[in-house]
C-alpha cells in the first residue's frame, strides 16, 4: 500500500520547551504504537527530528544513507562522525549503486532527482525489510516554502499527495527548487515532519535545549544533493575526490577562525544572522564559462558569473555584486593560473533562515590563508571568493 498522507506539525510554539511538548503530542497522536523509519543525515534538521521522536518515546529505526557524496570533516568521513554522535544509527552504503548513476551528470535538476530517487529507493527497501509503519524526516520551513511557493500555515496538518501536487501545480510561480525529501511515495501509512514549521535557528535552539554537543548544534547546513550541489558541471570520481579535500580545507579553516575568536564555530551577529551559516568550497573547470544559479524576482535563473579583479574592499565589492545585472553572481579573483585543472570558489554566507543571505565579512588575511592551503593541493587552478548575497545569487551553485 502506497502512503497517501503527510503529517506536519504546522504552527507550534517556538520556545524549545513548549515546542518539544507540542512535538511529543503531535508524534504521540500520529505514531504511538507504530515503528518509524527516521532518515538521519546527521544535519541539524534530521537530528532534531530524531531527538523529538526520542523525547516522545516512539519506536524508531534511524538510518544514514552513504551515497559517496558526503563531505569529509577534518579528515574524517561524515558517516564516522555521525556514528559517534548517534551510536544507534544504521549506516546503509549505496555508493557502488549510486555513484555510477550520477557520474557524468551536469544538469542541476537531474542531479536533484537522482538523489531523490536514490533516497526513496533505499528508504523503501529498508522500510519493507524492517516492516516500518511510518517515515520521519527533517523537512523544515524553507524546504516547504521553496517547493510549494506557499506559507506553511496555508497547508493542513495532514494532507494527501494529491492535495499537495494540486497546490504545487497552482503555485508554480513560487517554485525555487525541488527538494529530495518532498513529494515522494513510500510503502508506509504516512510520513511525519515534526520540524516542518521551524527555521534553522529555531532547530538549533531545540538541539541546544536537548543538550546535543555544541559542535553538532552549530554544524553548517548541507544540501540534500550533497557535494553534487558544489561540483558545477558533470560529477566524476576525480573531481569528487578533489572537492572533498578543498571543501574540508575551506570549512575547517573558517571554523577554526571562529573558534579562536568567538569560542564557537558560529555566532548570531547583530543582524540576527547565523554567521557563518554556511562555509564551503565549490569546484568546476572554467567557472567563467559555466552557467550557475541566481535569483531574479524570486525566480531561479542560470547565467555565467562575472569575475572581478583589483583592490579588496569588502563593502564596495559586495554592494556591486548585490546590484549585478546579466550575470548570476560576482566572484572576486584571488589567484589566476594557466596550470592546474580545477577552479575553486570559496563561499561563506550569513543567514537567518536560508531564504536570504549576506556574504560573511572574513578578513582578507584569512581568505589569503585559505588560498595558500588550496594551492598546496595538486590540480588547483584559479581561486575565487564569491561576493554575492542571496538574492541575486543563490547559496549553492546548482
Tell me what pLDDT residue 299 has: 82
Q: Are residues 201 and 234 in the same domain?
A: no
Hunting for cell 570559496 — which residue is that?
A: 346
Tell me which H or E stretch contains 281. strand 274-284
- Return d(Cα 266, Cα 121) in angstroms, integer: 35
> What is residue 38's three-state secondary structure?
strand
Position 179 scores a pLDDT of: 46
* Residue 219 in domain: no
- Same domain for 134 and 10, yes or no, is yes
Q: Which of 171, 206, 241 is the last residue of a domain?
A: 206
In a domain, 358, yes or no: yes
DSSP 306-361: EEE-S---HHHHHHHHHT--SSS-EEEEEE--SSSSEEEEEEEEEESSSSSBEE--
CATH code of 304's domain: 3.30.300.10
185 plus 331 within the same structural domain: no
For 364, the enclosing helix (H) or strand (E) is helix 364-375
Rounded CA gap, 9 and 193, in Å? 7
* 129 contact partners, CB below 8 Å, separation of at least 6: none
pLDDT of residue 398: 79
Residues 233 and 284 sit within 8 Å (Cβ to Cβ): yes
The pLDDT assigned to 300 comes to 83
Q: Could you tell me which of 134, 121, 93 has the C-alpha nearest to residue 7?
A: 134
350, 352, 137, 213: CA torsion to nearest 10: 70
166 belongs to a structural domain? yes
Residues 45 and 183 in one domain: yes
Sign of CA dihedral 340, 286, 317, 273: negative
Measured distance CA(201)–CA(44) in Å, rounded: 10
pTM for the structure as a whole: 0.82
Give the closest residue to 69 by CA, choosing from 41, 48, 89, 38. Answer: 41
Q: Is 278:250 a contact under the CB 8 Å cutoff?
A: no
Is residue 190 located within the same domain as residue 255?
no
Domain presence at residue 376: yes
Residue 175 in contact with residue 147, Cβ under 8 Å? yes
Do 99 and 197 reside in the same domain of the chain?
A: yes
Q: Which three cell numbers stand for residue 64?
A: 544514514
SS3 content of the chain, % helix, strand, coil (to 5): 40, 25, 35
**Among candidate residues 383, 310, 371, the one with its CA nearest the CA of residue 341:** 383
Radius of gyration (C-alpha) of the chain in whole angstroms? 21
pLDDT of residue 184: 61
pLDDT means per 10 residues, the chain with 398 residues, are 78 96 98 96 93 97 95 90 92 95 87 88 94 94 77 88 78 48 71 93 93 88 86 94 97 96 93 94 96 85 94 98 94 96 98 91 98 97 98 91
Residue ending a domain, choose from 190, 206, 222: 206
Whether 222 is covered by a domain: the verdict is no
> Is 213 among the domain residues?
no
Q: Which among 124, 133, 132 has a CA at the least distance from the CA of 185?
A: 124
Residue 163's pLDDT is what?
A: 83
Domain membership of residue 143 as a residue range: 5-206
Q: What is the pLDDT of residue 171?
A: 60
Based on the domain organization, do 194 and 263 belong to the same domain? no
| Domain identity same for 18 and 133 | yes
- For residues 381 and 338, membership in a common domain is answered with yes
Report how many domains make up the chain: 2
Domain co-membership, 61 together with 121: yes
- Final residue belonging to a domain, choices 206, 238, 263: 206
Are 239 and 163 within one domain?
A: no
Assign residue 109 the CATH number of its domain: 3.40.50.620
According to DSSP, the β-strands at 380-386 and 330-335 are antiparallel
In angstroms, what CA-CA distances link 118 with 95, 184, 342? Answer: 10, 11, 28
Are residues 294 and 178 part of one domain? no
- To which residue does cell 585543472 refer? 341
Amino acid at each position: 500500500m502506497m502512503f497517501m498522507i503527510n503529517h506536519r506539525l504546522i504552527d507550534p510554539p517556538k520556545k524549545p520547551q513548549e515546542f518539544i511538548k507540542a512535538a511529543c503530542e503531535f508524534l504521540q497522536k500520529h505514531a504511538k504504537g507504530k515503528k518509524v523509519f527516521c532518515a538521519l543525515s546527521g544535519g541539524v534538521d534530521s537530528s532534531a527530528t530524531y531527538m523529538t521522536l526520542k523525547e516522545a518515546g516512539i519506536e524508531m529505526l534511524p538510518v544514514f544513507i552513504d551515497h559517496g557524496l558526503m563531505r569529509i570533516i577534518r579528515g574524517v568521513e561524515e558517516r564516522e562522525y555521525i556514528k559517534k554522535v548517534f551510536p544507534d544509527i544504521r549506516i546503509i552504503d549505496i555508493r557502488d549503486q549510486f555513484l555510477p548513476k550520477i557520474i557524468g551528470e551536469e544538469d542541476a535538476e537531474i542531479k536533484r532527482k537522482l538523489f531523490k530517487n536514490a533516497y526513496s529507493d533505499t528508504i523503501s527497501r529498508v522500510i519493507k525489510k524492517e516492516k516500518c509503519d511510518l517515515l520521519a524526516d527533517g523537512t523544515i520551513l524553507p524546504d516547504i516554502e521553496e517547493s510549494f511557493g506557499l506559507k506553511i500555515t496555508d497547508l493542513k496538518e495532514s494532507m494527501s499527495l494529491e492535495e499537495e501536487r494540486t497546490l504545487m501545480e497552482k503555485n508554480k510561480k513560487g517554485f525555487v527548487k525541488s527538494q529530495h525529501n518532498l513529494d515522494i511515495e513510500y510503502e508506509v501509512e504516512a510520513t511525519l515532519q515534526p520540524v516542518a514549521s521551524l527555521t534553522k535557528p529555531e532547530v538549533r535552539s531545540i538541539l541546544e535545549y536537548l543538550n546535543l554537543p555544541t559542535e553538532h548544534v552549530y554544524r553548517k547546513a548541507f544540501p540534500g544533493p550533497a557535494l553534487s550541489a558544489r561540483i558545477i558541471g558533470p560529477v566524476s570520481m576525480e573531481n569528487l575526490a578533489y572537492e572533498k579535500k578543498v571543501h574540508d580545507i575551506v570549512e575547517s579553516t573558517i571554523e577554526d577562525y571562529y573558534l579562536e575568536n568567538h569560542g564557537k564555530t558560529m555566532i548570531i551577529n547583530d543582524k540576527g544572522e547565523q554567521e557563518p551559516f554556511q562555509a564551503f568550497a565549490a569546484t568546476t573547470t572554467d567557472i567563467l564559462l559555466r552557467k550557475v544559479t541566481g535569483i531574479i524576482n524570486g525566480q531561479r535563473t542560470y547565467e555565467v558569473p562575472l569575475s572581478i579583479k583589483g583592490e579588496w574592499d569588502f563593502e564596495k565589492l559586495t554592494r556591486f555584486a548585490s546590484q549585478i545585472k546579466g550575470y548570476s553572481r560576482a566572484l572576486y579573483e584571488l589567484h589566476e593560473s594557466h596550470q592546474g585543472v580545477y577552479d575553486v570558489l570559496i563561499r561563506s554566507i550569513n543567514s537567518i533562515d536560508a531564504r536570504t543571505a549576506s556574504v560573511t565579512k572574513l578578513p582578507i588575511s584569512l581568505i589569503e590563508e585559505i588560498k595558500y592551503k588550496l594551492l598546496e593541493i595538486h590540480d588547483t587552478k584559479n581561486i575565487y571568493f564569491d561576493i554575492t548575497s542571496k538574492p541575486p545569487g543563490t547559496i549553492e551553485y546548482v
